[in-house]
Structure 1
Amino acid sequence: MTPPKIHTLDYIVNKESNAYGLSIHPMREELYAELHSRPFQVLSSPARISYLAVMLGADDKQEEFEHFCRLYQHFQQQPPSQEGVCYEVDFGSLRVRREKHLEFTSYMFINTDTNQAVSPFASHALAILPDAWLAALPGTIIAAFHIAIEDARTQPEPDLVSVKSGFESMRLVGSRPQNGDAQVWTTFQLHSDGCGRFLIYNKNMSDSQLGRMVQRVVEIETYRLMALLGLPIARKYNAQLAKMDEQLATTTARLADSNEKLDEQALLAELIDMAAWVEAARAQTTFRFSATNAYHDLVLKRLAELKEDEVSGHLTITEFMTRRLTPAVRTCKATGDHLENLSRRIDRVSDMMRTRVEMSIQSQNQHLLASMDRRSKIQLAMQHTVEGLSVAAISYYSVGLLKFIIEAVYDKGVQFDKSLALGLSVPLVVGGVWFTTRKIHKRFLLLAKAREEKEKRSEKQK
């Protein structure tokens, strides 16, 4: 039996990293570590949390990491030597968790001091940060909100009036996630300090469960804002797409009207301009709209993981998101589909235009070929005429040469009638010249025919 073929790997394996002498893939440890790169937090209640999501340009990422390291220096700790996906550090009364994502970097500041103020949002974790550190943070803030966690296991929940006072009397969205083990209140609006607010009452959750639930709430708020980034772009292009639709419809109608004389080059240039605009719009929107769909899917997944129960008289987070976020995402999707459809329609009209131009060129070529055919027939007739004149001219000069020969023979004493001999030679010379000319003509025709047949055979072989 033939042994299986072993393919040589393009990477180096390590046999010294295990006790069995096995060939270990060099990326195995990284693959294991990837699943633990963003561990869930363990949060105790009560606590005050402030969260920031910062969008960074390519030039700001290194500066932002260096700025993050200044926190270590301020609290007299050793900063990390290199960039990482997730850092969590305890500075005493302040815990900081920093995570890197594809489009943004998030900061979670946690104040675990149990001596909280009476109002849940009277104090927050950002107040513990060094002076001017937040103002010098590189990038732009896409999400900023405070989370107040209260322990409802040893004390009753406050009434609705007290809850509403913490949200500046704005309309509340509330639910009981994790099958009623907690209660979450929010408004999904910005408050007087420019930040959003979440109020969470821990009724029957462990620190690990609370940490996971808070992480889900944070991701829902961040991802829904990231998903909505595509909506202004969609609205911007929708107005322009309506005009582009009308322009394309007018162009198509002009093509369909057979009685209208068109400037085909100008019309084709117009279609090229439209196609260039659509492709530029697709280049600017494709990534954003794809990201919108991806963030929306993540929001829906995190909402399902909350396992919400309804609070009487209030929308749940899932109901609010389904009603407000989903239409925005569908608008982005519809705009992307509209651009794609418009691109295909322009391609079809361009094909029609090119076909019309090609037919026009073919018609011009046919007229040109007909004109060339007429000219060739005239040239052939003229050639036959010239051939007849050539026969007469060659015969005339040939008879003149023959006359010299006859006279030379007569002068040598050969007696005959010179005039009769010369007269009899004329038809013979003319017939010989005509026969020779026709033979040469036929020979060239045969050569041309043989060459044409050879070209046809070569084309068939190809």
Structure 2
Amino acid sequence: MIASLPLHPDRDLLAGELHARPPLPLATPVAISRLANVGEAGAERGAAVAHLAVLCRRYGVTPPAPGADFWLGDFGRFSLRYERHTEFDGWTFFRPGPDAAAPDPFDETAIEAVPTDWLAGLPGKMLVASHIAIVRSAGEEEPPSPGCFVPDHLAGARLSAGAATCWSDFRLGPDGFTRLLLQDHGMPPSLAGRLAQALWEVETYRMLALLALPAARAAAAARGRAAERGAARAGRLPGLKELEEERQALEELTDLATSIEQQAATTADRFSASRAYHVLVGRRLQSLREQRLPGLPTLTEYLERRLDPAMSTVDAARSRIATLSTRCARAVELLRARVAVAQEAQNEKLLAVMADTGRAQLRLQETVEGLSVAAISYYVLSLAAYALKPLPWGRLGVAGEVVLAALVPAVAALVWIRMRRRRIRPML
């Protein structure tokens, strides 16, 4: 019946998201090795699946489909769980662990069964490497052997209402892996799988959260220099008098604001991802339901002692970059307003000078027009004299000079009117 209904194209994807990376039931004892490789910029997304297919062909195992985000396979000596995340690939290897009587539960690790040449070709850069040993324990909790961890840095807790006990020092061992020991006090395989997954996710996400710490420290040095430059330039603003000085200061502040925005754009994604991973670490630790062991910090307390200050450093760096960007942008806006006011005043002066020049030109033009009227009238009257003098004005009882004299105002008026019309016509 549901097939006849219009379905959303992402319905199956969203419905299966809750089951995308299910916990794997684990029968103790078991040895687990976890790797998390961060992809390089511009790397092909399917490179990890293609590399996994190479291992499958070597052991005669059916390879995963191209573009798979999750895959689980049995290679005989070991099992492999592959997970594709947003910015890293998770490789988790499993093999049967040593007996409870073994002096060191980390003598035989899961990754030792994996071909080294294939491991060397894993795509990306390895960020997380961790061993988890799940062993059976007859008592409530048994202290780990002295060779497993550094005693001064040991943390531990009972998990899941005493079903297991976890120990770790979160330090890199001789092989470059951190180590977590999980003692099984009778927990079912499903719970063992969930606890193991929570532990390797805590280790993975805490390292990814700390990935922003070097960027935050580097940004702090650059931010300090930018703050000094911004304060120095802002302190010079009240003393600026000339427009050219203000323009130069505006250019310097604009360059500084651009560099701050570039720094913010470079670190924004990393800082946001760090905060998201930190939240995931806290949720995974809550799922462990820890109970304190006498004389030891819990895993949560141990991680919070250094992880929370590191995340505070990242948050402070992000906040200070945003504050510095806002302050610099405000200074740019204030200086831009000053430059605009100064330019308006300069333009007003320029317009006043142009108005004075226009008035002077008008007066000169009027003077030239007056002279032109006199000159044209003179030439017209001179020509008229040549035409009028030979005429017999004496018969009419009028002298020719009188006639020319009478023509002077009329000719001058006609010339002035003509020139006036010629000047007004272009304006129309």
TM-score, L = length of structure 2? 0.90
Q: Structure 1, residues 47-102: CA drift from partner, whole Å, max 9, x if none?
A: 11111111222436544323222332333222224231111112334221111111
How far off is 1:398 after superposition? Answer: 2.8
Deviation at 1:159, TM superposition (A): 4.1
* Shift, 1:331, TM fit: 0.9
Residue 119 (str. 1) matches residue 104 (str. 2): yes
- Partners in 2 of 1:214 and 1:385 — Cα distance? 104
Amino acid at match of 1:121: F
Q: Secondary structure at the match of 1:269?
A: helix
Pairwise CA distance, 1:395: 2.1
- 8 Å Cα contact 2:46-2:66 kept in structure 1: no
Residue 28 of structure 1 corresponds to which residue in structure 2? 11
> How many angstroms does 1:324 deviate by?
1.3
The alignment-based identity, stated in percent, is: 36
Residue in structure 2 matched with residue 4 of structure 1 by the alignment: none
Contact kept in structure 2, 1:410 and 1:416, CA below 8 Å: no
The 5 Å alignment of 1:157-306 reads 157=140, 159-160=142-143, 162-258=144-240, 263-306=245-288
Give a deviation string over 1:248-279, Cα, whole Å, max 9, x none. 11101100225689733432332233123212
- Judging changes above 3 Å, is the alpha-carbon distance between structure 1 residues 260 and 323 closer, same or farther for their aligned structure 2 residues? farther
Distance 1:374-1:275 versus aligned 2 partners, 3 A rule: same
1:375 aligned onto 2:357: yes
Q: Encode CA deviations 1:186-241: one digit per residue, 9 max, x unaligned.
A: 11111122111111112242211221111111111100000001101111110121
Measured after TM superposition, the shift of residue 112 of structure 1 is 2.6
Greater displacement, 432-441 / 277-286: 432-441
1:67 corresponds to 2:51: yes
Q: Does 1:102 align with 2:86?
A: yes
1:272-321 Cα distance to aligned partner (Å, 9 max, x none): 33123212212221111111011011111112222211112111111122
- Matching residue of 2:22: 39
Provide closer, same or farther for how the CA distance between residues 271 and 421 of structure 1 changes in structure 2, counting only shifts above 3 A. Answer: same
> Matched residues in 1 for 2:329 and 2:20: separation?
47
What is the SS of the residue equivalent to 2:265?
helix
Q: Indicate the SS of the match to 1:134.
A: helix
Q: Distance in 2 between matches of 1:20 and 1:233?
A: 51
Distance 1:271 1:108 in 2: 51
- Distance change (3 Å), C-alpha of 1:237 and 1:390: same
In the TM superposition, residue 411 of structure 1 has moved relative to its aligned partner by: 7.6
Structure 1 stretch displaced more, 216-225 or 253-262: 253-262
Contact 1:60/1:139, CA 8 A, preserved across alignment: no
Higher mean C-alpha deviation, range 32-41 or range 289-298: 32-41
Residue 334 (structure 2) pairs with residue 352 (structure 1)? yes
Q: Alpha carbons of 1:368 and 1:380: their partners in 2 closer, same or farther (altered >3 Å)?
A: same
Per-residue Cα deviation, 1:395-440 (whole angstroms, up to 9, x for no partner): 2223223324433542896553222222233233334444555566
Q: Is the 8 A contact 1:168 1:191 kept in 2?
A: no
Q: TM-score, normalised by structure 1?
A: 0.84
For 2:422 and 2:81, the matched residues in 1 are separated by 100
Aligned to 1:458: none
Tell me, yes or no, if structure 1 residue 89 matches structure 2 residue 73: yes
Instruction: Pick which of 244-253 and 49-58 moved more.
Output: 49-58
Counterpart of 1:51?
34
Task: For structure 1, list consecutive stretches of 5 or more residues without a partner in the other structure.
Answer: 1-17, 452-462
Note the residue ranges of structure 2 that are not aligned, 5 or more in a row. Answer: none
**2: CA distance between counterparts of 1:387 and 1:156?**
122
| Among 129, 136, 143, the residue aligned to 2:128 | 143
Aligned to 2:371: 389
User: Match of 1:251, as an amino acid?
Assistant: R
Farther-moved stretch of structure 1 (168-177 vs 321-330):
168-177
Cα distance in structure 2, aligned partners of 1:181 and 1:374:
97
Quote the RMSD (CA, aligned, Å): 2.6
Count of equivalent residues: 426
Provide the C-alpha distance between the structure 1 equivalents of 2:234 and 2:349, rounded to a whole number of angstroms. Answer: 28
1:30 counterpart letter in structure 2: L
Q: More displaced, 417-426 or 120-129?
A: 417-426
Matched residues in 2 for 1:19 and 1:62: separation? 34
**Residue identity opposite 1:101 in structure 2:** H
Report the CA distance shift for 1:349/1:400 in structure 2 as closer, same or farther (over 3 A): same
CA distance in 2, matches of 1:260, 1:417: 74
For residues 137-158 of structure 1, the C-alpha deviation after alignment (integer angstroms, 9 at most, x for no partner) is 3322111111111223xx1256
Change over 3 Å in CA distance of 1:55–1:440 after alignment to 2? closer
SS at match of 1:191: coil
CA–CA separation in structure 2 for the residues paired with 1:274 and 1:258: 19
Contact 2:393 2:399 in 1 (8 A): no
What are the equivalent positions in structure 2 for 1:308-323 lying under 5 Å apart?
308-323=290-305
CA distance in 1, matches of 2:140, 2:162: 13
8 Å contact from structure 2 (residues 243, 339) kept in 1:
no
> CA separation in 2, counterparts of 1:267 and 1:89?
64
- Paired residues of 1:183 and 1:200 also in contact (CA < 8 A): yes
- Equivalent residue, structure 2, for 1:460: none
Give the equivalent residue in structure 2 for 1:79. Answer: 63
Distance 1:26 1:276 in 2: 42
